Amino acid sequence: MCGRIDDPKGKSRVEYVIEAENLRKVFNNFVAVDGISFQVYPGECFGILGPNGAGKTSTIRMIYGFSPITSGKLRVFGLDITQKWRKIRARVGVCQQDNNLDADLNVRENLEIFAQYFNISRKQARGKAQSLLKFIALEHRQDDEVINLSGGMKRRLVLARALINDPDLLILDEPTTGLDPQSRHQVWDRLRELRSKKGLSILLTTHYMEEASQLCDRLIIMDHGRILVEGKPADLIRHHVGHVVIEVDDPSPKLRIFVQNHNLKHEDLGHRLIIYGQNQDSGRLFQEIDDQFVNENCILRMATLEDVFLKLTGRELRE
Amino acid sequence: MKARVSVGHELMRRKNAVFFTISRRFIRVWQRNWSVYRKTWKVSFLPPLFEPLFYLLAFGIGLSSFVGELSYRGFQVSYISFIAPALIAVNIMYNAFFENTYTSFVRMYYQKNFDAMLATPLSLEEIITGEIMWGATKSVIATAIMQSVISLLGFIHYPQGVLILPLSFLGGFAFGSFGMFITSIMPNIEIFNIPVFLFITPMFLFSETFFPINHLPDWVQKLSLLFPLTHLVRITRSLSFGLLDSGLLWNLAYLLIFSLIFFPLALLKMHSRLIK
Ligand SMILES: Nc1ncnc2c1ncn2[C@@H]1O[C@H](COP(=O)(O)OP(=O)(O)O)[C@@H](O)[C@H]1O
Ligand SMILES: [Mg+2]
């Protein structure tokens, strides 16, 4: 496979930002990533979704050269990760899963000293730190020690730190896990602003479906180290679930027969029946079910990515 | 960044070439530690300033009335001038060893500083090298402070004594590499007590630090010669007495070989611990 694609007008050639081919990661004898292939285009926000232990972190750690690949091919900016890891890392910004800020340094120093790891001069680092602190609205806390920051502030600082080298690719491992809704929305706002920035590509992992729907242009859903599906959020929803979902609590036997007879796409959880409405007529279907078979607790709602996710990865608990 | 040394070519090929590179970039890690040190220097420089004074007071003045003078390499020396250089050598060992054990472990394990650095153009080998260089630097800083105090009291002969400073870097590098090797194999921070009790305390006591070893049992003398601290003490003491002779080259060679074993070992072990 070549590292380039023709753009629609056929004028210039655009490289893939990430190109993974049959990528595997094996720990001792445990296969964490089991031969996955995908590409990320420039300027795109690409999501990796999956339950805990799916292999998301293992995948992205290979992409920024933190952990060596077991087999397969991996190119970032068209460069081979096993050879050009240093060049690649110089152009990548990473928010790792833990907030590993430097506890010995204050907020501003966390940015300035991190900049030095990229051989950015002190003077330049100072300027960048100030503009990034403004970007994440933490200017007023710049002399605070990082332990005194809230979870949301820490996360924003980690994000700012990942931007210190003006990366062409921003990698985020579960950027909003453990944050309260306010903080989460703040991080999303920052990410949306970055998304519109020209030339920046974003790779993020998450298990929040809302996050993926809001931010990702395209995504893959992974489980047990494999890719289950790939596509745009809206396409995936339409294709795997439909337009709307009807949820019925404590369904009656009659309803089950009705669903069988009408050949409706559904999932039976015992105490709850989930019916996937494929088309515009679903409203009428809901009326019919609500009138004839149910006394209470029948809901009609829009289908979401979460429905796709649960349908594909199953409903049993992980870890 | 052209100056590059590759460690373990074979391993390098096997492990997909990633990370087995050392360039001058390690200085970035050193700078980070230096920046942190500067924030707390007002506290950090107190121990090397006062510790020698405590020791000299307790052992030098308290004990010397019992010991009197002793003979060292044919010279009659006072007990206090016998132990003064050893205190410097012990301090060299302590500063690098503890920096690259407890403190590096905290940075690696609790603060996850190395993980964050591994998302930048730094290789793991550069990170570890920077840490060990920093440990050696702490030995130099402590030596400079301590040597000033001891020199003011008149126990160091100059100009030969000037060489103690570069020596403290080599000593620090040796003990820092050893410490980093220990760090790479320690499952948790409590267990550091064991290498301290097994290696550091015996060295502190039996490396010709507080008494000449020539009247100890033969096997203790032989064991003592295996201790890197013994060699560091011998050089420091000779320089302090103004005795500069070719015999010291053996002691120097021992410290070099010790470093050349434990420095690559620390890199290799850290690699297999952290790169998964
Ligand atoms: N260093 C490691 N050694 C052994 N197993 C690991 C290691 N890192 C991850 N794993 C395993 O690989 C699987 C995938 O982990 P991970 O990539 O962290 O999943 P995710 O990020 O999707 O939650 C998990 O079962 C995890 O236990
Ligand atoms: Mg993860």
B112-155 confidence digits (pLDDT tens): 999 999 999 999 999 999 999 999 999 999 999 999 999 998 99
Q: Which residue's CA is the closest to the ligand 1 atom numbered 8?
A: A58
With both helix axes pointing from N to C terminus, report the angle between A107-117 and A122-135 in degrees, rounded to the nearest 10: 130
Chain Cα centroid distance, residue A88: 21
Q: Which residue's CA is the closest to the ligand 1 atom numbered 26?
A: A53
**Searching chain A, which residue's CA lies closest to the CA of residue B22?**
A86
Judge whether B166 is closer than 8 Å to chain A, CB to CB: no
**B96-114, pLDDT tens digit by residue?**
999 999 999 999 999 999 9
Q: Are strands A79-80 and A71-76 parallel, antiparallel or unpaired?
A: antiparallel
Looking at the predicted structure, is the pLDDT value of residue A221 above 70? Answer: yes
Tokens at B223, concatenated? 């064991």
CB contact under 8 A, A104 and B275: no
Mean residue pLDDT across chain B: 89
Q: Are strands A244-249 and A201-206 parallel, antiparallel or unpaired?
A: unpaired
Q: How confident is the model at residue B17 (pLDDT cuts 50, 70, 90)?
A: very low
Atom of ligand 1 minimally distant from the CA of A56: 22
- Identify the pLDDT of residue B20: 63
Looking at the predicted structure, is the pLDDT value of residue B276 above 80? Answer: yes
Q: How confident is the model at residue A60 (pLDDT cuts 50, 70, 90)?
A: very high
B16: left (phi over 0), alpha (psi -120 to 50) or beta: left
The greatest distance separating any two alpha carbons of chain A, rounded to the nearest whole angstrom, comes to 74
- β-sheet with A18-27: strand ranges across: A30-40, A18-27, A71-76, A79-80
Whole-number Å distance between alpha carbons of B193 and B197:
6
If you count residue pairs, one on A and one on B, with CB atoms under 8 Å apart, how many are there? 76
CB contact under 8 A, A82 and B32: no
Q: Ligand 2 centroid vs A284 CA: distance in angstroms? A: 42
- Identify the pLDDT of residue A319: 60
Highest mean pLDDT among A103-107, A196-200, A286-290, B11-15 belongs to A103-107
- Identify the pLDDT of residue B132: 98
A86 contacts in B (CB within 8 Å)?
21, 121, 123
Non-local (6+) Cβ contacts of B56 within 8 A are B80, B83, B84, B87, B150, B153
CB contact under 8 A, B35 and A118: no
Q: How confident is the model at residue B41 (pLDDT cuts 50, 70, 90)?
A: confident
Interface test with A, best of B6, B12, B18 (most A CBs within 10 A): B18
Non-local (6+) Cβ contacts of A208 within 8 A are A176, A177
CB contact under 8 A, B119 and A69: no
CA distances from A228 to A109, A183, A303, A314, B245 (A): 42, 31, 19, 12, 74
**A25-49, pLDDT tens digit by residue?**
999 999 999 999 999 999 999 999 9
Looking at the predicted structure, is the pLDDT value of residue A6 above 60? Answer: no
- What would the mean pLDDT of A163-168 be, rounded to a whole number? 96
How far apart are the CA of B145 and the nearest CA of chain A, in angstroms? 24
Q: Which residue's CA is the closest to the ligand 1 atom numbered 6?
A: A27
pTM: 0.91
Domains and CATH numbers, chain A: 5-232 (3.40.50.300), 242-302 (3.30.70)
Pocket of ligand 1, beta carbon within 6 A: A 27, 30, 32, 50, 52-58; B 276
DSSP 8-state secondary structure symbol assigned to residue B22: B
Q: Are strands A30-40 and A201-206 parallel, antiparallel or unpaired?
A: unpaired
Q: Ligand 1 centroid vs A55 CA: distance in angstroms? A: 6
Looking at the predicted structure, is the pLDDT value of residue A198 above 90? Answer: no
- What would the mean pLDDT of A154-182 be, rounded to a whole number? 94
CB contact under 8 A, A117 and B15: no
CA neighbours within 13 Å on the CB side: how many for A166?
9
